[in-house]
Amino acid sequence: MSNPGENPPDPLSTARAIFTHHERVFDNFRFVYPVLSRRAKGISLGVNLNPDKVCNFDCIYCQVDRTSPAETTFVETKKLFDELEIGLRMILSGDLYRSPKFRSTPKHLRRLNDIAFSGDGEPTTYRNFDEIIAACAEIKRRHWLDDVKMVLITNASMFHREHVERGLKILDQNNGEIWAKLEAGTEEYFKLIDRTTIPFQQILDNITAAARIRPLVIQALFMRVNNEPPSHAELEAFCDRLNEIKAARGLLKLVQVYTIARKPTESYVTPLADEEVNAIAELIKSRTKLPTDVFYGTTDY
Ligand code: SF4
């Protein structure tokens, strides 16, 4: 509530401020963290499989703070499962919304949308990926949460590994959804943004192969780099890559177009304006006929 004489809070900036609170630590939890997620349109219970902050990409916009050392370097599975149990109970009982951090969650967003595997690195690099997915699915089942999704937020770099493929199939059987990162149309731009030694073609092949088995969500983050938005040629190439996946019988159910909303690794990375995000989504829609969802940025981090 605002004081007399003050302007009332702008609901859009309030929502954007809430959505920037993606800290991975909830009280004394180390591996599980509830967040109010704008892309999930509700509460997403995150599971961090990379507490050591190691990733096989080094994205220029990554929000993981790698300037400070990791407090936890390996996954203690027993603690992770306990935290998942407690986290689910807190959300289902409504206790979560009595905590200071979630007290201001709008009523319509007080719903558990998913258990999301993401965290401080690429989740599919976790050695026993299939086993941990199976164990978390079992916990979800025990709580009768068939409607709650299991979302894998991934850079798609490890889909070709056998145990990861097995993990993806377990997700399929448990209301899973794969959000695969793709935000370049050319090798050059991919290397500029994602800074990895993994070839762009490997990512495209992995996304195509996975999308031939189940429909994927593409997460595409576009930004200004040294104040330059992605060029029209790059965006056209991005649409070409999506069309190639479709032509290879890959199923894509949604392209999430978003921009910077949390403090990026590199200070030369800044968000696009809302109109620029809209224009990119329109281009993708008209060039690929795929549905898009847009999420705007903020520098309020
Ligand atoms: S893949 Fe994800 S965790 Fe890894 S550097 Fe990129 S944004 Fe960060």
Confidence of residue 186 (pLDDT cuts 50, 70, 90): very high
> What is d(CA 264, CA 271) in angstroms, rounded to the nearest whole number?
10
58 lines ligand 1 (CB under 6 A): yes
Q: Residue 64: CB within 6 Å of ligand 1?
A: yes
Judge contact between 181 and 219, C-beta under 8 A: yes
pLDDT band at 24 (very low <50, low <70, confident <90, very high): very low
Distance (angstroms) between ligand 1 centre and the Cα of 58 equals 6
Query: pLDDT tens digit string along 110-165?
Result: 999 999 998 899 999 999 999 999 999 999 999 999 999 999 999 999 999 999 99
Pick the residue whose CA is nearest to atom 8 on ligand 1.
Answer: 62
pLDDT (tens digit per residue) in 250-266 = 999 999 999 999 999 99
- Assess whether the C-beta atom of 27 lies below 6 angstroms from ligand 1: no
Average pLDDT for 39-61: 93
- Average pLDDT in the 2-25 region? 44
Q: Hey, which of 53, 54, 60, 62 would you mutate to test ligand 1's pocket, going by the most ligand atoms within 8 Å of its Cβ? A: 62
Q: Which of 216, 217, 238 is nearest to 229 (CA)?
A: 238
238 compared with 8, residue with greater pLDDT: 238
Distance 198 CA to ligand 1 centre (A): 13
Q: Are the beta carbons of 113 and 37 closer than 8 angstroms?
A: yes
For the CA atoms of the chain, what is the radius of gyration? 19
pLDDT higher than threshold 70 for residue 3: no
- Global pTM value: 0.90
What span, in angstroms and rounded, lies between the C-alpha atoms of 20 and 264?
12
* Nearest CA, atom 6, ligand 1: 59
On average, the pLDDT of the chain sits at: 91
Tell whether ligand 1 has an atom less than 6 A from the beta carbon of residue 221: no
Question: How many Å apart are CA 157 and CA 93, to the nearest integer?
Answer: 37
Q: Is the pLDDT of residue 42 over 50?
A: yes
Q: Whose CA is nearest to atom 7 of ligand 1?
A: 62
- Is the CB of residue 55 below 6 angstroms from any atom belonging to ligand 1? yes
What pLDDT is attached to residue 22? 46
